[in-house]
Amino acid sequence: MLNDEPLSRASTVGYVYWGCTGHLARYKMHASARVEGRGQVRSQWEYYMMRNIGAYETIRESNNTVAVERKDAETLPDRVKQGAIEQAGPPTPMLSKVTKHLAAAGIRITLEQEALTFKFEEPEDTSVSLVRPVPHPWLPEQTLMSIGQLDDIPGYDQVHEANARLERMLNSKAPAHLIQKTETLLQAYIQLLFDRLLTPDDLRFRSRVMFTGRSVVVPGEEVGQAPLQYDQAGVPNEIAWTIFGPQIIRELGNEEAVTARTEEATETLDRTMADSWILLMRAPVVTPTGMVGFRPVRTLDRAIHVHPFVCDLMNGDFDGDQMALYLPMTAAGQEEAEEKLSLVGHLKREPELLLSFLPAKDALFGLVLHIFTEEGRQEISQLAGVDIPMPAGYLNRIALHEAMQIVLEKEGAEKTIARPDQLMRRGYEAARTSGASLGAFACSNIDRPTPPIDDDPASWMIYADELVGRIAMKNDYDNTETGMLLLASHSSTRANTQQIMRIVANGGGVSNADGQSVPIRHGYVEGVTPTELFALAHEGLTNIASAYHLNDLGRRFSEANHPQAPHVLSRAMRSSHPGIVFARAAAARESGPLLDVDARFFVGLPVP
C-alpha cells in the first residue's frame, strides 16, 4: 500500500541496511563575504571552462573584482552597501604578485595602454646587496648586484649567510680557492632562491573569491510549499544572509534591520534572491557544465538543494558531495550567469547536452511502466510534446532522446528543457506507485547453463556469455520474479544483461588489484565470497577510471588549453621556467600589446 492505495505490482519487502557517510551539512556549511572568511577557490580548471564557453565577465569577477587577494578587497562589502559594483581594472592580484616577484629579481614590468614592457632595473627594496656581482640565474650574461625582499619566499637566510661569509673572506684576504668555493656556494643559494621566486604555478589562474559559500548537496523536491524548479537552487538560510547581506543593507538603508533579520529585511532578502542568479560549482570541473547558474531560493536547513538534472551535468551525486556557491556581484556577471551558465544557456550552446536532461534510472523506469497502458502513453506523449516511437514495444532512453531532439528543434531550449522536468516528475510518481522491485528469487525461471567444475577463468567467461545470451532472449515482463529486472535491462533504465548476469549467477573472470584473474562463481542473490567481491570492486573502479580518462570532454583541459600567442606573458605562461622568459624579454626591452585572451585576463583587461 502507498497512501492507502494498493500497489499495481507485487513488491518485495524486507530489511534494508543503509551505509552512512560522514558528510554532515552542519560541519560542511560555511559562507564568506569578507577577506577574512573562507572564500571559495577558482582554479585553472574553472578558468579553462569559463573561457571555452565565453563566460568572460565571470572570469573578470573571480580573478580580479571580487578576489580576496586584491588590495581593496577589505572595502568591497562596504562598497556593495553603497551601490552597484563595476568590474575592476588592472592589475589583477595574479599580475601584482608576478610583478612583485620579478622586481625582486631585478626585472620591472610596466603596463601602459594595454601593453607590457620589460626591462632590468635594480630592486627598490633591497634585501641582499651582493659583495661581488654574480651572473643572473635566469640570464647568465646579465649581472646581478642585489636581490629585493620578499617575505613569503624561503631561502634568503642562506643567501645572507653565504654573502656575509664571502665578505669576511674578501676582507681577510683569504686564499683564492676558499673565496672561489664560497662564491660558488653563494651562486648555488641564489639559484635555489630564484627557483622559488617564480614558478609555473605563479602564472596559472587561481583566486580565492568573496561572496561565496559551500555545503553538502541534496536533491531538492520542494522548498517550502512549492516544488523546486529546474532553474532553481535551494540556498541555506545562513549562507543567504551572509552573501546577500550587504545588498539588503543597500536596499533598506538600515543595517540594524538586516543584523536583526526583521520581517522587512527577510522579505527584501527573498525578493532580492528571486531577482538574482547564483553559480554552483562541483569541483573538479572536468566538463563545460561543471559550473551552472541558478535562481536562488532560501531554505531553512544547512544543505544546498538542486534539481536531479544537476547530477549528470556536474559530475555529482547525493552521497555527501559538496558544491561551492558564488554570487556574481556585477550586472555583467549576473547577465552572463543567465545567458551562458544557466541550464538553458548550456543547452543553447551545446544541444547534445539534451541527453543529460532526460529522465534516467527510476524516473525513466516509471515512464517505461506507465507507457504500457493507452492512458499512460497518451499522457507521456502530451508531456513530451510529441509521440514517442517504440519499435521494440517499450520505451527506452534512445527513443525518448530522439523524440526530444525533435521538440528542441521545434520549440527551442527554454521550452524544451521544461518537458524533461515534467516527464521526470511523472516518472518518479509512476515508479513509486508501481511497487516494481527486485524479487528475492530473481531470474529463477531462466534455464542456466551448466557451470564449469574448474577454476579456469576462460571456462567461466564462456559460461557467462551463454548465460547473458539466455537472459537477453527473455521478454516475459509480467513474470513476478523476472519481469521487472528484464524490463529494466532492455529499456536501459537500471541494468543491462551483464549486470543481470552478476545479480543472478555472475560468471566470468575479473582481475583483482594484484593483476590475478579471479573466477566469479556466485551471483549477488546467493551471495559472493569476499575474494569475489574485492575482485569485482576493483573491476568497477578500474572501469570508472577508464571512462573518466577517455571522456572526450577532457580534451578541453589538455595542453591545448595553454596560451599559444607569441607575447612574453603568453610564452611565460606555457613555460616550465618562466623566469628565463621574462629575463630575456627584459634584456631586449621587449614591449608589445596584449592581444591574447589568456594574457589579457591575467593582466585584468577586458576581452572584446
326 is a domain residue: yes
* Contact in structure between 477 and 485 (CB atoms under 8 Å): no
Quick one: which of 127, 215, 110 has its CA closest to 582?
110
pLDDT value at position 553? 44
- DSSP string spanning 415-482? HHHHHHHHHHHHHHHHHHHH-----TTTTTTS-PPPPPSS--HHHHHHHHHHHHHHHHH---TT-TTT
Query: What average pLDDT does range 323-343 have in this prediction?
Result: 97
316 and 331 in a single domain? The answer is: yes
pLDDT value at position 23? 62
Instruction: Name the DSSP class of 63.
Output: I
Q: What percent of the chain has pLDDT over 70?
A: 89
Domain finish residue from 403, 434, 465: 434
Count structural domains, the chain.
3
482 and 378 in a single domain? The answer is: no
Ramachandran assignment for 527, one of left (phi > 0), alpha (psi -120 to 50 degrees), beta (any other): left
227 is a domain residue: yes
Domain finish residue from 512, 540, 568: 540
pLDDT value at position 550? 46
Band of pLDDT at residue 18, cut at 50, 70 and 90? low
Q: 69 is in which domain, residue-wise? A: 26-78+208-349
CATH number of the domain within which 296 lies? 2.40.40.20
pLDDT value at position 437? 75
**How far apart are the C-alpha atoms of 532 and 511, rounded to whole Å?**
10
384 and 260 in a single domain? The answer is: no
pLDDT value at position 433? 85
* Contact in structure between 388 and 399 (CB atoms under 8 Å): yes
470 is a domain residue: yes
Q: What percent of the chain has pLDDT over 90?
A: 59
403 is a domain residue: yes
Q: Where are the alpha helices (DSSP H) in 551-573?
A: 568-573
Band of pLDDT at residue 17, cut at 50, 70 and 90? low
pLDDT value at position 475? 78
Band of pLDDT at residue 19, cut at 50, 70 and 90? low
372 is a domain residue: yes
DSSP collapsed to 3 states, 137-173:
CCEEEEEEEEEECCCCCCCHHHHHHHHHHHHHHHHCC
Q: What would the pLDDT profile of 207-221 be if each residue is shown by its tens digit?
A: 999 999 999 998 876
Query: What average pLDDT does range 267-295 have in this prediction?
Result: 92
232 and 329 in a single domain? The answer is: yes
**How far apart are the C-alpha atoms of 122 and 191, rounded to whole Å?**
18
254 and 333 in a single domain? The answer is: yes
Query: What average pLDDT does range 552-562 have in this prediction?
Result: 47
pTM of the model: 0.86
92 is a domain residue: no
214 and 230 in a single domain? The answer is: yes
Does residue 266 or residue 463 have the better pLDDT?
Answer: 266
Q: What would the pLDDT profile of 59-114 be if each residue is shown by its tens digit?
A: 999 999 999 999 999 999 999 999 999 999 999 999 999 999 999 999 999 999 89
pLDDT value at position 557? 44
Band of pLDDT at residue 22, cut at 50, 70 and 90? low
Query: What average pLDDT does range 317-330 have in this prediction?
Result: 90
229 and 251 in a single domain? The answer is: yes
Quick one: which of 487, 218, 498, 230 has its CA closest to 364?
487
215 and 334 in a single domain? The answer is: yes
120 is a domain residue: no
Quick one: which of 159, 104, 156 has its CA closest to 131?
159
Average confidence score pLDDT of the chain: 87
Q: Is 118 helix (H, G, I), strand (E, B) or coil?
A: strand
